[in-house]
């Protein structure tokens, strides 16, 4: 009996290990040099490009005034969509864009947003400030934006206040190429060919603003609604179920148990702040708040591990995908703005947090296949801020531009041994990394130095690869709260990093404090 019990424990431990990330970080205080070991191997996991996705909701000035100004605007636009915003976003190689929410999605009725704009009904945005939505930006405008960005569309469907027929009709309207009343209505409204919709969300945050449901009730409702999200000829839609909020493993367990066999994937949401009880100021903070954000950003790794453990029990073949389709920092709205518009600035602190998240998603790319940062403009951890005709890119924008080298690349297993970052008798690993091999054979390494005061001496050994040349860029600043403004749009941006070299097949660098660095090795 004792041997059987021991065997059971060993098998259980191996199953547990199978769900652990390919990244392993060890903290050893007093190291003169932090060491990263990378392993180049065949049959590596591919980092899905859709991990670098984005999110746009009818919230505050994300849509209206963010990227939509209308065709009659004095601001340069293409069919009502700001040209400068599209130009900036295209530099990120955005793979997928989620719309129209968010909480807004479960109050959105798609027929309000089609047809001549001057005939569309005005509706109330009950979630975000009780403001009037003209519905000038609807299905056609969103999918036009996706085509401009050359990205996939992720539609969030209305389960909360909508019907299965409404969801079914929307899918037919968008994707059916044949002769039907809805397809012909699409043609009448200016779109002859059907669109390709890659992802369709069956509800959003149904544990909260999407209906205050229990996971058991949602599971039954999901089976009902998803039946009517049809794959019309030439169309194949990935259906996305509502996943848990933060670390709600009970919701994840129930979803996998009740509807795991009918799922393509489910969407987890995770926002981070500097405190449990308040959001905090976006630009005025101290090191205690910096440390708290770094800790919460690192917690994304543990949350994914817990989800993977649950998923592995019900889906050993890894058929079901994990999506983090809302994530990012959440601060108090900027003073003088509508608090329900969630407009916040974006500093170096947000950039380092974003780098931690993206490294984590990369390292779990065996299950994590799509992620969507919130949001693309003027809301929460935005890529872009606008003020009338003015536009500025944020530090987080620059992180996405630096990290785009990982899209579609082969993940490299990594072992990291680093010093701890200590503050107020608490410790975190000082460094956070991921690495990949591109199609051209080059290696890209992205490294966050979480310590805001100490640079990090660093060396990297790549097993199975002999480095010849190395180049790098770094995002950092003198102050933790450095950010770009309309008057100083380039206060913080990536710079060429010359503090990296190759010596005896070893990559050597001294990483600046509070920095995000990308190293390219050939």
**pLDDT on residue 68:** 98
The counts of H helices and E strands in the chain are 10, 28
Rounded to whole angstroms, the Cα distance separating 20 from 364 reads 8
Q: Is 334 considered catalytic here?
A: no
Q: What is the mean pLDDT of residues 456-483?
A: 96
291 in Cβ contact with 451 (< 8 Å): no
Closest CA to 167 of 243, 235, 111, 241: 111
Please name the residue that has the structure tokens 């779109």: 191
- pLDDT surpasses 70 at 314: yes
Q: Which member of 57, 152, 172, 205 is catalytic? A: 205
Q: Estimate to the nearest angstrom the gap between the alpha carbon of 67 and the chain centroid.
A: 19
**pLDDT on residue 2:** 38
Q: How confident is the model at residue 361 (pLDDT cuts 50, 70, 90)?
A: very high
Q: Is 495 considered catalytic here?
A: no
- pLDDT surpasses 80 at 336: yes
Helix (H) or strand (E) holding 189, with range, is none
In the chain, domain spans: 21-45+412-521, 54-279+293-340+359-407
Rounded to whole angstroms, the Cα distance separating 141 from 70 reads 10
Q: What is the mean pLDDT of residues 456-474?
A: 95
Q: Count CA atoms within 13 Å of residue 147 on its CB side.
A: 13
Please name the residue that has the structure tokens 């000829």: 233
Contacts by residues 212-215 (CB-CB < 8 Å, ≥ 24 positions apart): 215/250, 215/251, 215/254, 215/255, 215/258
The predicted-structure confidence for 191-214, as pLDDT tens digits, reads as follows 999 999 999 999 999 999 999 999
Strand 321-329 to 443-449 pairing: unpaired
Helix (H) or strand (E) holding 11, with range, is helix 2-18
- pLDDT surpasses 50 at 29: yes
225 in Cβ contact with 164 (< 8 Å): yes
Q: How confident is the model at residue 485 (pLDDT cuts 50, 70, 90)?
A: very high
**pLDDT on residue 41:** 82
266 in Cβ contact with 325 (< 8 Å): no
- pLDDT surpasses 60 at 253: yes
Question: Residue-wise over 336-345: b if at least 16 C-beta within 10 A, else e?
Answer: eeeeebbbbb
The pLDDT > 90 percentage for the chain reads 91
Q: What is the mean pLDDT of residues 70-96?
A: 98
**pLDDT on residue 123:** 97
Q: How confident is the model at residue 277 (pLDDT cuts 50, 70, 90)?
A: low
Rounded to whole angstroms, the Cα distance separating 515 from 420 reads 16
- pLDDT surpasses 80 at 12: no
Q: How confident is the model at residue 105 (pLDDT cuts 50, 70, 90)?
A: very high
**pLDDT on residue 278:** 75
- pLDDT surpasses 80 at 33: yes
Q: Count CA atoms within 13 Å of residue 151 on its CB side.
A: 29
**DSSP letter string over 193-209?**
SPPP--EEEE-S-TTTT
Work out the mean pLDDT of the chain and round it to a whole number. Answer: 94
Rounded to whole angstroms, the Cα distance separating 508 from 520 reads 13
Q: How confident is the model at residue 15 (pLDDT cuts 50, 70, 90)?
A: very low
**pLDDT on residue 23:** 83
The predicted-structure confidence for 211-225, as pLDDT tens digits, reads as follows 999 999 999 999 999
The answer for residues whose C-beta is within 8 angstroms of residue 98's C-beta and 6 or more apart is 53, 54, 55, 56, 154, 156, 199, 201, 325, 372
DSSP state of 499: -
306 in Cβ contact with 245 (< 8 Å): no
Strand 431-437 to 410-411 pairing: antiparallel
* Alpha helices for 315-415 (secondary structure H): 348-363, 395-403
- pLDDT surpasses 70 at 335: yes
Q: Which member of 152, 253, 326, 401 is catalytic? A: 326
pLDDT: is 261 or 409 the higher one?
409
* Alpha helices for 154-276 (secondary structure H): 164-175, 181-188, 215-226, 249-259
The predicted-structure confidence for 130-175, as pLDDT tens digits, reads as follows 999 999 999 999 999 999 999 999 999 999 999 999 999 999 999 9
**pLDDT on residue 430:** 97
Indicate the fold that domain 54-279+293-340+359-407 takes in CATH. Answer: TIM Barrel (3.20.20)
Where does residue 201 fall: left (phi above 0), alpha (psi -120 to 50 degrees), or beta otherwise?
A: beta
| Domain 21-45+412-521 in CATH 3.40.50.300 | no
Q: What is the mean pLDDT of residues 392-407?
A: 98
**pLDDT on residue 276:** 67
């Amino acid at each position: 009996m004792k041997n059987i019990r021991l065997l059971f424990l060993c098998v259980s431990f191996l199953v547990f290990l199978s769900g652990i990330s390919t990244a392993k970080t060890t903290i050893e205080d007093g190291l003169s040099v932090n060491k990263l070991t990378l392993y180049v191997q065949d049959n590596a996991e591919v980092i899905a490009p859709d991990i670098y996705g984005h999110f746009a909701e009818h919230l505050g000035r994300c849509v209206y005034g963010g990227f939509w100004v209308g065709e009659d605007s004095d601001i340069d636009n293409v069919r009502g969509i700001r040209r400068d915003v599209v130009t900036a976003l295209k530099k990120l190689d955005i793979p997928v864009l989620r719309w129209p929410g968010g909480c807004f999605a479960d109050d959105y009725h798609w027929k309000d947003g089609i047809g001549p704009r001057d005939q569309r009904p005005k509706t109330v945005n009950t979630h975000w400030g009780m403001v009037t939505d003209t519905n000038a930006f609807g299905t056609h405008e969103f999918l036009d934006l996706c085509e401009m960005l050359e990205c996939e569309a992720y539609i969030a469907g209305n389960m909360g206040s909508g019907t299965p027929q409404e969801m079914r009709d929307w899918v037919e309207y968008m994707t059916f190429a044949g002769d039907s009343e809805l397809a012909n209505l699409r043609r009448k409204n200016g779109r002859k060919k059907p669109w390709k919709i890659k992802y369709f969300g069956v509800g959003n945050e149904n544990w909260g603003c999407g209906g205050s449901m229990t996971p058991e009730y949602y599971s039954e409702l999901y089976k009902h609604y998803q039946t009517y999200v049809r794959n019309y000829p030439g169309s194949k839609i990935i259906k996305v179920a509502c996943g848990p909020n933060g670390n709600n493993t009970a919701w994840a367990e129930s979803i996998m148990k009740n509807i795991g066999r009918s799922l393509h994937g489910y969407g987890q949401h995770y926002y981070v702040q500097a405190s449990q009880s308040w959001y905090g100021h976006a630009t005025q903070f101290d090191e205690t708040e910096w440390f708290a954000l770094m800790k919460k950003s690192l917690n994304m790794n543990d949350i994914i591990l817990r989800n993977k453990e649950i998923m592995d029990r019900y889906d050993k073949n890894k058929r079901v995908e994990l999506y983090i389709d809302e994530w990012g920092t959440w601060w108090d709205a900027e003073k003088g703005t509508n608090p329900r518009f969630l407009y916040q600035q974006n500093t170096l602190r947000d950039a380092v947090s974003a780098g931690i998240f993206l490294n984590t998603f990369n390292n779990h790319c065996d299950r994590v296949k799509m992620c969507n940062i919130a949001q693309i403009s003027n809301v929460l951890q935005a890529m872009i801020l606008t003020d009338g005709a003015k536009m500025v890119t944020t530090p987080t924008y620059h992180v996405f531009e630096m990290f785009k080298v990982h899209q579609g690349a082969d993940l490299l297993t990594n072992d990291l041994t680093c010093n701890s970052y200590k503050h107020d008798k608490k410790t975190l690993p000082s460094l956070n990394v991921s690495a990949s091999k591109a199609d051209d054979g080059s290696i890209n390494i992205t490294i966050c130095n979480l310590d805001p005061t100490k640079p990090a001496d660093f060396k990297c050994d790549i097993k199975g690869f002999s480095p010849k040349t190395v180049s790098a860029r770094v995002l950092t600043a003198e102050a933790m709260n450095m950010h770009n403004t309309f008057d100083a749009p380039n206060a913080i941006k990536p710079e060429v990093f010359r503090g990296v070299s190759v010596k005896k097949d070893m990559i050597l660098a001294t990483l600046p404090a509070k920095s995000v660095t990308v190293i390219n090795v050939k």
